[in-house]
């Protein structure tokens, strides 16, 4: 580990990864075993790099490097997404794409507020498109452990926020329908390939949750990505992040639920709080499992987990999520 730390600290971790990949090229093991080892090595290097990136203040933007010297160390956060070669990314319109239960509404709200503050002519557009060819560097794409996505979207749409694992998927084919809806054929392959080519920017759930991670992401990564460092203060960004934190959103949800109950209106997953001027609806079943990661482990039966892991194993490895329970 210490030898890896030295290499990463000297900023040659891309070369280190290249060497690992070259060694695996001559490996005679199965493709899945190669992929497991590849992801394990990448995970170790990126974890160290992510830790190092948060040890001091973020580097001055005038230098050629696109690597963070970073915000304060936050061990719960995923490493910040890599930055494109050419910065800043100049956009006619900024958009966010969520896979469902990935925190993309929060991302859209805070980005939308930042955009208003800095004078973006168009508001931030938020949707759930699965057409990866339509994404670009002006589209921030949210991902999360795909099993957590299945868990949360099922709980929302089945209006089953506190269901037992057996009850959640009791209806025939409901799990398969949810899987197909969330992950259409070739979608995850296309997403991975475009990310690897540097054609899109993928933001992980661990970049925006918990709030400490969101503050790191919005105060340091977002201004550098869009060239906003001289246009909005870190203090103002902190205020905007806190305005739409998971705790603040839960308060909004409970207030709306109370209002609907007083009127005798039945609450479904389609009920939502609309934030004026912002794209994306805060559904009343929006925050499932209190936003916690790895909620899928207590969400599904053993049989369901085996089926899900079998379907998603390759993609979990590619996106650096553990396949272990």
pLDDT in tens, 91-120: 999 999 998 889 999 999 999 999 999 999
Contact (CB, 8 A) for 20 and 34: no
C-alpha distance from residue 75 to each of 59, 212, 223 (Å): 20, 10, 22
Q: SS3 for 126?
A: strand
Q: Which residues contact 80 (CB under 8 A, 6 or more apart)?
A: 50, 53, 68, 207, 216, 217, 220, 221
Whether the ω angle into residue 88 lies within 30 degrees of 0, i.e. cis, is yes
Looking at the chain, the whole-number percentage of residues with pLDDT higher than 70 is 75
**Is residue 162 very low, low, confident or very high in pLDDT (cuts 50, 70, 90)?**
confident
> Once rounded to an integer, what is the mean pLDDT over residues 252-273?
87
**Residue with the larger pLDDT of the pair 264 and 56:** 264
User: Quick one: pLDDT band at residue 215, thresholds 50, 70, 90?
Assistant: very high
Write out pLDDT tens, residues 265-306. 987 767 888 888 898 888 776 676 667 889 999 999 999 999
**Backbone torsions φ then ψ of 193, nearest 5 degrees:** -65, -40
Tokens coding 180: 């197909």
Please give the helix or strand (H or E) that residue 219 lies within, else none.
Answer: none
For helices 302-318 and 146-157, angle between their N-to-C axes, nearest 10 degrees: 130
Confidence check: pLDDT of 61 > 60? no
Per DSSP, helices labelled H in the chain are 2-9, 13-25, 31-52, 104-118, 146-157, 165-168, 174-182, 187-196, 211-216, 222-226, 234-243, 246-262, 302-318
CATH of domain 71-318: 3.40.50.300
Residue of 252 and 312 predicted with greater confidence: 312
Of 4 and 186, which is predicted with more confidence? 186
């Amino acid at each position: 580990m210490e030898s890896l730390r030295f290499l990463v600290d000297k900023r040659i971790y891309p070369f280190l990864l290249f060497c690992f990949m070259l060694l695996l090229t001559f490996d005679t093991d199965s493709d899945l075993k190669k992929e497991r080892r590849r992801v394990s090595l990448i995970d170790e290097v990126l974890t160290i790099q992510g830790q190092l990136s948060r040890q001091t203040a973020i580097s001055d933007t005038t230098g050629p490097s696109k690597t963070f010297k970073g915000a304060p160390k936050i061990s719960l956060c995923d490493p910040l997404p890599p930055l494109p070669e050419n910065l800043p990314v100049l956009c006619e319109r900024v958009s966010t794409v969520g896979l469902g239960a990935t925190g993309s509404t929060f991302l859209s709200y805070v980005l939308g507020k930042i955009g208003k503050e800095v004078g973006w002519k168009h508001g931030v557009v938020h949707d759930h498109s699965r057409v990866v060819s339509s994404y670009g560097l002006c589209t921030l794409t949210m991902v999360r452990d795909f099993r957590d996505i299945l868990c949360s979207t099922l709980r929302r749409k089945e209006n089953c926020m506190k269901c037992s694992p057996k009850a959640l998927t009791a209806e025939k084919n409901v799990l398969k329908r949810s899987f197909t809806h969330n992950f259409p054929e070739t979608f995850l392959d296309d997403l991975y390939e475009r990310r690897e080519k540097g054609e899109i920017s993928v933001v992980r759930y661990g970049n925006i949750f918990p709030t400490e991670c969101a503050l790191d992401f919005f105060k340091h990564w977002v201004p550098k990505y869009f060239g906003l460092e001289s246009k909005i203060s870190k203090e103002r960004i902190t205020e905007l992040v806190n305005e739409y934190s998971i705790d603040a959103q839960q308060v909004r949800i409970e207030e709306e639920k109370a209002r609907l109950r007083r009127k005798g209106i039945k609450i479904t997953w389609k009920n939502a709080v609309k934030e004026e001027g912002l794209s994306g609806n805060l559904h009343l079943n929006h925050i499932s499992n209190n936003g916690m990661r790895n909620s899928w482990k207590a969400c599904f039966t053993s049989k369901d987990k085996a089926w899900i892991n079998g379907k998603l194993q390759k993609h979990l490895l590619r996106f650096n999520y553990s396949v272990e329970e």
